[in-house]
Amino acid sequence: MFPEFLIEKNKTLFLKTKNPLYAWKAIEHARGFKRPIPEEILNFLFDTAHALLKVAQSPPAPAQRPVAIAKALKLHKTGAGQGSAFTEYSRRLKDREIALATAEKIREWGPEKSDYAFAEIAKKYGISKSKARRNFVAHSDQWRKTAARLVETGAIEYGPGGKPKTFAIGTADDLREAAEILEEVERIQTPA
């Protein structure tokens, strides 16, 4: 089902990037959908709890506590020149926001005039037209692959008239992304 996909997606991002914010997102989805929290995420929680309690047993000076807590939660920078977990996470969310806005503009302009959509998005977000295109293509490819995987595994339910449907929770962009994936499911299911 779609809830399991969302949990798995964030677990995979956590394991790939080592960014704990994806672990927290997986927990949010698991609890929201009343699904089990993946073992890898439970291991992260155990390790984090252990590190946090270690800080509590021997607290640093007040000025150093925020840094010690961030390290215990694995939210600190891990090296010179590296962004924080928040920087990486917000960049990924911004890229998704831009891709979703691009999808809407392409629907407005029509696929044959997608260049106009890319130009409008580039201007709105202060990026190049080619960056807008690359970002959209990367996201739409991922949405297509996700839709195919959901169809193959029988994870999509169908409503009246055979329209794909699912249950989703999260931010407005989480819901917009779910809608994009369902559109891809519909394309897969509709013969040309």
Model confidence, pTM: 0.80
Asked whether the beta carbons of 21 and 85 are under 8 A apart, the reply is yes
Q: What integer pLDDT is reported at residue 6 of this predicted model?
A: 85
Span 33-50, average pLDDT: 96
> Which residue is it, tokens 């995420």?
41
- With 60 as the cut, is the pLDDT of residue 107 above it? yes
- 14: nearest Cα among 25, 5, 22, 6: 22
Query: Which residues are CB-neighbours of 40 under 8 A, at least 6 positions away?
Result: 11, 14, 15
171 versus 40: the higher-pLDDT residue is 40
Asked whether the beta carbons of 97 and 116 are under 8 A apart, the reply is no
The Cα–Cα gap between 16 and 41 comes to 13
Q: Quick one: tokens of 138?
A: 């990367």
The Cα–Cα gap between 2 and 187 comes to 17
- 144: nearest Cα among 105, 191, 173, 177: 177
Asked whether the beta carbons of 69 and 149 are under 8 A apart, the reply is no
Span 125-138, average pLDDT: 96
Q: What integer pLDDT is reported at residue 24 of this predicted model?
A: 95
The Cα–Cα gap between 122 and 1 comes to 35
Span 102-110, average pLDDT: 94
180 versus 23: the higher-pLDDT residue is 23
Span 24-37, average pLDDT: 93
How big is the chain, counted in residues? 192
- With 70 as the cut, is the pLDDT of residue 20 above it? yes
Dihedral angle over CA of 104, 115, 97, 150, nearest 10: 70
- With 70 as the cut, is the pLDDT of residue 149 above it? yes
Asked whether the beta carbons of 121 and 98 are under 8 A apart, the reply is yes
Q: What integer pLDDT is reported at residue 60 of this predicted model?
A: 93
Q: What integer pLDDT is reported at residue 167 of this predicted model?
A: 73
Which range, 76-85, 133-142, 149-158, has the best average confidence (pLDDT)? 133-142
- What is the per-residue pLDDT across 65-97, written as a single tens digit (0 to 9) for each? 999 998 999 887 766 556 788 988 999 999 999
148 versus 102: the higher-pLDDT residue is 102
Span 14-37, average pLDDT: 94
